[in-house]
Structure 1
Amino acid sequence: MQRWKINLFVLMGGNFLVMAGMTMIIPFLSLYLQKDLGLTGEHQIGVWAGLIFAANFITSFLFQPLWGKLSDKYGRKMMLLRSGFGMSIVMVMMGFATAPWHLLVLRMLNGVISGYVPAAVALVSATTPKERMGFAMGTLQSGGTAGAILGPFIGGLLADSFGYRPIFYITGSLLFLASAISWILVREKFDREAAARKPQISVIRGFRDLMVIRQLPVLLTITFLIQFAMLSPMPLMPLYVQNLHGTTENLAFYAGFVSSVTGISNMICSPLLGKLSDRIGAIRILLIALGGAAVMLIPQAFVGTVGQLLVFRFLLGCFMGGMIPTVNSLVRKYTPDGMESRAFGFNSSALSLGNMMGPVIGGALSGFIGIEGLFILSGVLLLATCLWATQALRAQKTAKIG
């Protein structure tokens, strides 16, 4: 097997383990705050759950450009190992939290040292032939997204069986395993001496140099809007499932299943849409995915049973499979050689900003419009993003051809 394919499939598995470990807490976070840490009131729980979930992305937003710069200087594999082993230690520490602010602080620390996924994207993009970039980004994304969505399902099962705190120890173990596998199997040809001879510029200067490439500001904004829209309803999803289910029996399981079913369809569709984007163009796939996801989000506000919610979540995942991979493919396409890690670092910051703002604003708005209103708001936002991206990316493509 070619080296780029070995790296791709190993890092796809690593992305799965990392994201599964990071999202296992989703189905029981609000229940954990309610039952073990003494919070009361749906609005208070929603605000705290949103803050704790988003805390990781606050510091990640600030530090990802720095790790991207160091990755271009010292190598992507080093950033993989730094992030993976560091996060495994922090995650175990979360199992000893006794107050909501403990989880908040540790999630912020986790964001400081995070960066496995963007380092994996940068490494794969640097070693993959450009004509196979769509397939590679789709395959890599399928592992990460499947882990992110199947993680809640696994977490729900384990929470029902073992309780809440052991999940953090299991999560830390998964992160350690992913890092160890990457350490052993991933190979990178990186000339540190040549990288050291290149002029070293600041993070701000690097940002300015990249932003003069007209397509990159558009793509970073699209990444932010996608994550904001997708994650704003997530903190209150367990309570929504509880209202639809009508009982507390196996609640964590159903909450995890509703979140994870999107990952099943995403895992199937990401490589297929990535391969299709290599044939018909990444921009076209991105626009179709944005519009389709918007259409699948809005009906979730009007479902009457958990089964109906599952159907729309599954269809949503089909379209999700074409969003972030095509953005990553386009970022690589428009980024000069040697600056890939910086570009993906800034794109990761945009993603983290969306991950941060979505749950915080969603938790704050939930007291006024409910989770049903958040589904509608998210669908409208993605539809507006689709219309804007159609105009912005195609106009720039036409200008470039002209």
Structure 2
Amino acid sequence: MYILMVAQFLVMGAMSMIIPFLPLYLRELGMKDPGQTQLWAGLIFGINFLSAFLVAPIWGSLADKVGRKIMVLRSGFGMSIVILLTGLATSPLQLLLLRLLNGTVSGFIPASISLTATNTPKEKSGYALGLLQSGGVAGSIMGPFIGGVLAEIIGFRSIFFLTSMVVFIATVVVLLFVKEEVKPDPSAPRQGFFSEGSFVLHQKPLVFLFSVGFLLQFAMLAPMPQMSLFVSELGAPGGYIAFFAGLVTAVTGIANMMASPFLGRFGDRYGPERILFYSMIGAGVVFIPHAFVTGVWQLLGLRFILGLCVGGLLPSLNTLIRRYAPAGKESTAYGYSTSATFLGNMLGPITGGFMTGVIGIRGLFILTAVMLLLGSWWLKIGLNHNRQTSKQRVSRHVSSA
């Protein structure tokens, strides 16, 4: 578990290093027009999520057949090769295709989640998944900062080579030191990809949880692209807009990283559905005063509190997915869950940008709060309906017996 947490930190840090300098790298590749540079930067960044969204269920289904650890290794070694080739790209089109390929071979994070969830006692899975999220969040926070510093020191292309090496080392560590004790049963009957997918998607609790995962990512990421403009509007101290815009994002991640293991442990003790429900309510309530802040320091305080609430969201959701996933189909379920969250990652910022043009970012904060509060109600209704249905089935079974 601890090795996978560190590996998640290294992988997420390596993968997010590209964010600060992607437009500058495109200029180095010969793209001069600022409008075209921004358009291609958006396409290149987003295409990775698109291909990952499409193939995640395939890799998840395969993991249930051949094992979860091998999927972690496949993804890690595959990404290290693609990232190395990215440093050799000579045109924006090559860069776009390589990012598309990177998303196709990716899956290190969901495979790690599946491996941890299936090899951890159920009564401790919330804590384990919370620790895993802490590692990933820490990497995503430090990655852009490290990437920006290294871009000034060693240049853009060298960062890709360094990133490739870091991902490769993380994968070798997993290969040598992580043991998969609970493996797929080779004698179990196997179905085709579409049959397994249909079986999982007919599990109503899982489909419901997938929709909650999509909603969470959609709502949380919708305001993110506009945050730097909002910091500028508030008036950054000393005029350091870029610094405070990065700090606003960083404090949320730091609080998330701090809270995830503790809220995961509370979930093991009191039930992950309770932690998920109250975390959604907390996040929704905290978004409301976002719309009324008058200074950057107020915004920083609210973003830190928001991060504490966010720390209970995905670990609790992943714990519930493990609970409701059919035996032997856990990785398939996590594959579809990953697709749902990637879809939220893609559509959230796009929709948020459009809505900001209509109602402003302060109005977007209120809309995000409403979405999360309605989502908590949706979660409560869905889980209660599932419990009642399960009780009715048990009662009918007892009566017939």
1:14: which partner in 2?
7
Superposition pairs of residues 44-193 of structure 1, within 5 angstroms: 49-96=41-88, 101-159=93-151, 164-189=156-181
Tell me if the contact between 2:78 and 2:105 (Cα under 8 Å) persists in the aligned partners.
yes
- Seen in structure 2, the aligned counterparts of structure 1 residues 190 and 105 have a Cα distance that, compared at 3 Å, is same
Aligned to 2:34, what secondary structure does the other structure show?
coil
CA drift at 1:341? 1.0
1:323: which partner in 2?
313
Query: How many pairs does the alignment contain?
Result: 391
2:373: which partner in 1?
383
Per-residue CA shift, 1:132-191, capped at 9, x if unaligned? 111112111221222223333433444565565544343333322221211111111366
Aligned to 1:189, what secondary structure does the other structure show?
coil
Which deviates more from structure 2 when the two are superposed, residues 168-177 or residues 313-322?
A: 168-177
2:250: which partner in 1?
260
Tell me the distance in 1 between the aligned counterparts of 2:380 and 2:21: 38
Tell me the distance in 2 between the aligned counterparts of 1:169 and 1:254: 30
- Seen in structure 2, the aligned counterparts of structure 1 residues 58 and 253 have a Cα distance that, compared at 3 Å, is same
Note if 1:353 corresponds to 2:311.
no
Corresponding letter in the other structure for 1:66: I
Tell me if the contact between 1:151 and 1:260 (Cα under 8 Å) persists in the aligned partners.
no
CA drift at 1:305? 4.0
TM-score by length of 1: 0.86
1:222: which partner in 2?
212
Tell me if the contact between 1:30 and 1:235 (Cα under 8 Å) persists in the aligned partners.
no
TM-score by length of 2: 0.86
Corresponding letter in the other structure for 1:111: G
1:310: which partner in 2?
300
- Seen in structure 2, the aligned counterparts of structure 1 residues 54 and 360 have a Cα distance that, compared at 3 Å, is farther
CA drift at 1:235? 3.4
Note if 1:272 corresponds to 2:265.
no
Which deviates more from structure 2 when the two are superposed, residues 234-243 or residues 305-314?
A: 234-243
Tell me the distance in 1 between the aligned counterparts of 2:85 and 2:198: 38
Which deviates more from structure 2 when the two are superposed, residues 249-258 or residues 207-216?
A: 249-258
Corresponding letter in the other structure for 1:290: M
User: RMSD between aligned alpha carbons?
Assistant: 3.0
- Seen in structure 2, the aligned counterparts of structure 1 residues 360 and 134 have a Cα distance that, compared at 3 Å, is same
Tell me the distance in 2 between the aligned counterparts of 1:300 and 1:107: 34
